[in-house]
Amino acid sequence: MSHDKIRAAARKRMAETGEPYATARREVIKHHPDAGAGPSSGASWFAIDYSGMGRVSRWTDTRHGGGPGRGGVVLDSTALRVLVPGFRLDIPRASVRSATRAARWVPESTGVHGSRGRWLVNGSQNGLVELAIEPPCVTPRQPSTLFRKAKISSLTISLLDPDGFIAAIKGDEPPRD
Protein backbone atom coordinates (compact mmCIF):
# COMPACT_ATOMS: atom_id res chain seq x y z
CA MET A 1 0.00 0.00 0.00
CA SER A 2 1.60 3.28 -1.08
CA HIS A 3 2.07 6.24 1.21
CA ASP A 4 -0.51 8.28 -0.70
CA LYS A 5 -3.15 5.56 -0.31
CA ILE A 6 -2.38 5.19 3.38
CA ARG A 7 -2.65 8.96 3.85
CA ALA A 8 -5.96 9.12 1.97
CA ALA A 9 -7.41 6.19 3.94
CA ALA A 10 -6.21 7.73 7.23
CA ARG A 11 -7.83 11.08 6.39
CA LYS A 12 -11.07 9.31 5.49
CA ARG A 13 -10.98 7.44 8.80
CA MET A 14 -10.27 10.70 10.66
CA ALA A 15 -13.39 12.25 9.10
CA GLU A 16 -15.50 9.21 10.03
CA THR A 17 -14.24 8.63 13.58
CA GLY A 18 -12.75 11.93 14.75
CA GLU A 19 -9.47 10.18 15.66
CA PRO A 20 -6.13 12.02 15.44
CA TYR A 21 -4.16 11.43 12.25
CA ALA A 22 -1.51 9.20 13.88
CA THR A 23 -4.15 6.90 15.40
CA ALA A 24 -6.15 6.72 12.16
CA ARG A 25 -3.00 5.95 10.14
CA ARG A 26 -1.93 3.23 12.57
CA GLU A 27 -5.38 1.61 12.38
CA VAL A 28 -5.44 1.79 8.56
CA ILE A 29 -2.05 0.07 8.35
CA LYS A 30 -2.98 -2.52 10.97
CA HIS A 31 -6.16 -3.55 9.14
CA HIS A 32 -4.92 -3.54 5.54
CA PRO A 33 -3.60 -6.94 4.20
CA ASP A 34 -1.07 -5.32 1.82
CA ALA A 35 0.33 -3.35 4.74
CA GLY A 36 1.11 -6.53 6.63
CA ALA A 37 -1.86 -7.34 8.83
CA GLY A 38 -5.55 -7.90 9.27
CA PRO A 39 -8.22 -9.01 6.82
CA SER A 40 -9.98 -6.99 4.16
CA SER A 41 -13.77 -6.95 4.08
CA GLY A 42 -15.30 -10.35 3.37
CA ALA A 43 -12.10 -12.13 4.38
CA SER A 44 -11.20 -14.10 7.49
CA TRP A 45 -7.94 -13.62 9.38
CA PHE A 46 -6.18 -16.54 11.08
CA ALA A 47 -3.12 -15.60 13.12
CA ILE A 48 0.07 -17.64 13.22
CA ASP A 49 0.85 -19.17 16.63
CA TYR A 50 4.12 -17.63 17.85
CA SER A 51 4.16 -19.31 21.28
CA GLY A 52 7.22 -21.42 20.41
CA MET A 53 9.48 -18.52 19.43
CA GLY A 54 12.03 -17.07 21.76
CA ARG A 55 11.91 -13.44 22.85
CA VAL A 56 14.67 -12.35 20.44
CA SER A 57 13.08 -14.13 17.46
CA ARG A 58 9.67 -12.58 18.21
CA TRP A 59 11.29 -9.14 18.53
CA THR A 60 13.12 -9.59 15.21
CA ASP A 61 9.93 -10.78 13.49
CA THR A 62 8.04 -7.77 14.85
CA ARG A 63 10.74 -5.38 13.62
CA HIS A 64 10.32 -6.86 10.11
CA GLY A 65 6.54 -6.35 10.07
CA GLY A 66 5.42 -9.70 11.45
CA GLY A 67 5.12 -11.32 14.81
CA PRO A 68 2.10 -11.94 17.00
CA GLY A 69 -1.04 -10.40 15.55
CA ARG A 70 0.58 -9.58 12.20
CA GLY A 71 1.71 -12.88 10.71
CA GLY A 72 -1.10 -15.07 9.50
CA VAL A 73 -3.43 -16.24 6.77
CA VAL A 74 -6.10 -14.19 5.02
CA LEU A 75 -8.86 -16.42 3.66
CA ASP A 76 -11.47 -15.13 1.25
CA SER A 77 -13.76 -16.71 -1.32
CA THR A 78 -11.12 -16.89 -4.06
CA ALA A 79 -7.73 -17.20 -2.39
CA LEU A 80 -5.74 -18.05 0.69
CA ARG A 81 -2.91 -15.61 1.38
CA VAL A 82 -0.05 -16.45 3.76
CA LEU A 83 1.62 -13.33 5.20
CA VAL A 84 4.80 -13.49 7.28
CA PRO A 85 7.98 -11.38 7.11
CA GLY A 86 10.02 -12.32 4.05
CA PHE A 87 7.40 -14.77 2.78
CA ARG A 88 4.18 -14.19 0.87
CA LEU A 89 2.13 -16.86 -0.83
CA ASP A 90 -1.18 -16.65 -2.67
CA ILE A 91 -2.99 -19.96 -3.14
CA PRO A 92 -6.17 -20.15 -5.23
CA ARG A 93 -8.98 -21.71 -3.15
CA ALA A 94 -9.63 -24.19 -5.97
CA SER A 95 -6.07 -25.53 -5.56
CA VAL A 96 -6.51 -26.48 -1.88
CA ARG A 97 -7.37 -30.20 -2.01
CA SER A 98 -7.41 -30.83 1.73
CA ALA A 99 -6.83 -29.13 5.06
CA THR A 100 -6.14 -31.37 8.05
CA ARG A 101 -4.41 -31.24 11.40
CA ALA A 102 -0.78 -32.14 10.70
CA ALA A 103 -0.01 -35.69 11.76
CA ARG A 104 3.64 -35.73 10.74
CA TRP A 105 6.50 -34.79 13.03
CA VAL A 106 7.81 -31.26 12.55
CA PRO A 107 11.40 -30.35 13.46
CA GLU A 108 12.01 -28.16 16.52
CA SER A 109 12.44 -24.98 14.53
CA THR A 110 10.37 -21.93 13.75
CA GLY A 111 10.15 -19.75 10.68
CA VAL A 112 9.76 -20.57 6.99
CA HIS A 113 11.39 -23.75 5.71
CA GLY A 114 10.90 -25.86 2.62
CA SER A 115 12.25 -28.35 0.16
CA ARG A 116 10.92 -30.60 -2.58
CA GLY A 117 7.51 -28.93 -2.60
CA ARG A 118 6.82 -29.31 1.16
CA TRP A 119 6.90 -26.07 3.13
CA LEU A 120 6.56 -25.22 6.82
CA VAL A 121 5.51 -21.79 8.13
CA ASN A 122 5.43 -21.86 11.91
CA GLY A 123 6.01 -19.96 15.11
CA SER A 124 5.48 -23.02 17.31
CA GLN A 125 4.81 -26.75 17.25
CA ASN A 126 1.15 -26.15 18.22
CA GLY A 127 -1.90 -25.82 15.99
CA LEU A 128 -0.29 -27.26 12.88
CA VAL A 129 -2.51 -27.50 9.79
CA GLU A 130 -1.37 -29.23 6.62
CA LEU A 131 -2.71 -28.10 3.24
CA ALA A 132 -2.46 -30.32 0.17
CA ILE A 133 -2.19 -28.11 -2.91
CA GLU A 134 -2.90 -29.39 -6.42
CA PRO A 135 -1.87 -28.07 -8.87
CA PRO A 136 1.18 -26.82 -6.98
CA CYS A 137 1.48 -23.06 -6.65
CA VAL A 138 4.67 -21.10 -7.16
CA THR A 139 6.14 -18.54 -4.78
CA PRO A 140 7.30 -15.15 -5.98
CA ARG A 141 11.02 -14.41 -5.69
CA GLN A 142 11.56 -13.49 -2.04
CA PRO A 143 14.18 -13.78 0.73
CA SER A 144 12.82 -17.02 2.20
CA THR A 145 13.16 -18.80 -1.15
CA LEU A 146 16.64 -17.33 -1.78
CA PHE A 147 15.05 -15.18 -4.49
CA ARG A 148 14.13 -18.21 -6.56
CA LYS A 149 10.64 -19.33 -7.47
CA ALA A 150 9.64 -22.46 -5.56
CA LYS A 151 6.80 -24.91 -6.18
CA ILE A 152 4.63 -25.70 -3.19
CA SER A 153 2.46 -28.82 -3.14
CA SER A 154 2.16 -29.13 0.65
CA LEU A 155 2.09 -26.33 3.22
CA THR A 156 2.08 -26.79 7.00
CA ILE A 157 1.14 -23.72 9.07
CA SER A 158 0.97 -23.22 12.86
CA LEU A 159 -2.23 -21.31 13.70
CA LEU A 160 -3.85 -20.05 16.90
CA ASP A 161 -7.22 -21.39 15.70
CA PRO A 162 -6.45 -24.45 13.53
CA ASP A 163 -9.93 -25.97 13.84
CA GLY A 164 -11.62 -22.70 12.87
CA PHE A 165 -9.31 -22.43 9.86
CA ILE A 166 -10.06 -25.99 8.74
CA ALA A 167 -13.80 -25.37 9.17
CA ALA A 168 -13.56 -22.15 7.12
CA ILE A 169 -11.68 -23.94 4.33
CA LYS A 170 -14.14 -26.84 4.26
CA GLY A 171 -17.17 -24.58 4.65
CA ASP A 172 -16.87 -23.27 1.10
CA GLU A 173 -15.99 -26.58 -0.55
CA PRO A 174 -18.48 -28.06 -2.97
CA PRO A 175 -19.55 -31.59 -2.02
CA ARG A 176 -17.26 -34.23 -3.54
CA ASP A 177 -18.40 -37.59 -4.84
Residues 170, 165: Cα–Cα separation, whole Å? 9
Q: How many structural domains compose the chain?
A: 2
> How many of the other CB atoms lie within 10 Å of CB of 104?
9
| pLDDT tens digits, one per residue of 102-132 | 876 666 677 777 788 888 888 888 888 999 9
The answer to the question of residue 152 being in a domain is: yes
Are 19 and 46 in the same domain?
A: no
Pair 21, 49 in one domain: no
Are 73 and 159 within one domain? yes
CATH number of the domain at 107, please.
2.30.29
Tell me whether residue 58 is in a domain.
yes
For 152, residues 6+ apart whose C-beta sits below 8 A from its C-beta are 89, 91, 114, 117, 118, 119, 133, 136, 137, 138, 139
CA nearest neighbour of 3 among 44, 32, 43: 32
Q: Return the number of other C-beta atoms located less than 10 Å from residue 35's C-beta.
A: 17
The Cβ-side half-sphere exposure at 53, using a 13 Å CA radius, reads: 22
Residue 40 has pLDDT above 60, yes or no: no
Q: Report the pLDDT value the prediction gives residue 162, as an integer from 0 to 100.
A: 92
pTM given for the model: 0.66
Tell me the pLDDT tens digit for each residue of 41-84.
Answer: 578 889 888 787 777 776 776 666 666 667 889 998 888 988 88
Provide the domain limits for residue 2. 1-30
